């Protein structure tokens, strides 16, 4: 308890079993909070455990462009923004901050949407397709195995191609749908980022759990990598109960792509252009 005092303010009230974090990169990652957002604290914590600085972003930010200008990436976390009224993500998409995020994403800012955040990204047309109710109509909460299908995006480059990871999944409107042409394009361009392995938990077309835009900077997925970042609080793993930290790679990936500069854009040229 001597050298680490600079992180004292971030220490949880209960035991922190995480191993020593990597060196701070200085990267500032914004985490958006809408009314009804649930997982903003977890996402911010995942950013810190990965070695970045988490910056809280309020949905009604008066000057969204200015707020984003000092940030290196943005995460739209899960929850039930605006109570999922109308459609999941439909109201949040018109929040003042979203216009700035849509513009910045077009300029290459890395943006990650998790669960409700993924729904907001599809409602914003930053990602194609949409989510409808789970095929079985039930809210589902389970540890889910995913395969990383594209490890060249800003949010997946720390994974091996085809690597299987286990992270929690918890949603009601998690069934990914798009027309056949869009699905064929996603497959053909390597834009399926994550796929469900073993069981398809919600009827998603072609077992799709997460997708990326053509440039590789905008990624959305239904499962929750931010809940699998700290030993003792993650999914069960072969190493032991609750020890799974497979989700951390999502957050270290964006820090690596920020540190590595053009890595994520160069990586998608093979299949990214039309």
| Site for other proteins, rule CB under 8 A | 86-87, 90, 94, 122-123, 128-130, 132-137, 175, 177-179, 203
Smallest separation (angstroms) from other proteins to the CB of 189: 18
Smallest separation (angstroms) from other proteins to the CB of 158: 31
Burial class of 212 by CB neighbour count within 10 A (0 to 12, 13 to 18, 19+): buried
- Which residue's CB is nearer to other proteins, number 203 or number 271? 203
Alpha helices in 40-176 (DSSP H): 40-50, 64-69, 96-106, 116-123
Tokens 């003042």 — which residue? Answer: 96
Smallest separation (angstroms) from other proteins to the CB of 130: 4
Active site residues: 115, 224, 226
Q: Write the DSSP assignment of 185-247 as a string of letters.
A: HHHHTT-EEEEE-SS-SS--GGGEEEEE-TTSSEEEESS-GGGSSSTTSS--BTTBTT---TT
Smallest separation (angstroms) from other proteins to the CB of 87: 6
Q: Using an 8 Å Cβ cutoff, are 224 and 250 in contact? A: no
- Which residue's CB is nearer to other proteins, number 63 or number 179? 179
């Amino acid at each position: 308890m001597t050298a680490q005092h600079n992180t004292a303010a971030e220490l949880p009230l209960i035991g922190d079993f995480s191993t020593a974090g990597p060196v701070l990169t200085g990267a500032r990652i914004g985490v958006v909070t809408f009314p009804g957002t649930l997982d903003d604290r977890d996402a911010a914590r995942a950013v810190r455990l990965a070695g970045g600085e988490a910056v809280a972003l309020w949905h009604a930010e008066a000057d969204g462009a200015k707020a984003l200008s000092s940030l290196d990436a943005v995460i739209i976390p899960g929850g039930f923004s605006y109570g999922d009224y109308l459609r999941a993500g439909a109201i949040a998409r018109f929040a003042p901050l979203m216009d700035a995020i849509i513009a910045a994403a077009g300029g290459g800012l890395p943006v990650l949407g998790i669960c409700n955040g993924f729904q907001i990204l599809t409602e914003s047309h930053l990602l194609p397709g949409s989510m409808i109710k789970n095929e079985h109509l039930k809210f589902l909460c389970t540890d889910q195995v995913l395969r990383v299908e594209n490890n060249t995006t800003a949010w997946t480059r720390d994974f091996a191609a085809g690597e299987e990871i286990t992270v929690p999944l918890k949603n009601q409107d998690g069934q990914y749908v798009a027309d056949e042409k869009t699905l064929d394009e996603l497959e053909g361009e390597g834009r399926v980022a994550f796929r469900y392995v073993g069981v398809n938990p919600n009827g998603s077309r072609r077992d799709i759990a997460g997708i990326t835009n053509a440039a590789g900077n905008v990624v959305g997925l239904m499962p929750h990598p931010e809940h699998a970042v700290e030993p003792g609080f993650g999914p069960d793993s072969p190493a032991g109960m609750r020890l799974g930290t497979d989700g951390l790679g999502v957050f270290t990936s964006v820090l690596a792509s920020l540190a590595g500069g053009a890595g994520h854009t160069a990586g998608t040229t093979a299949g990214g252009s039309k």
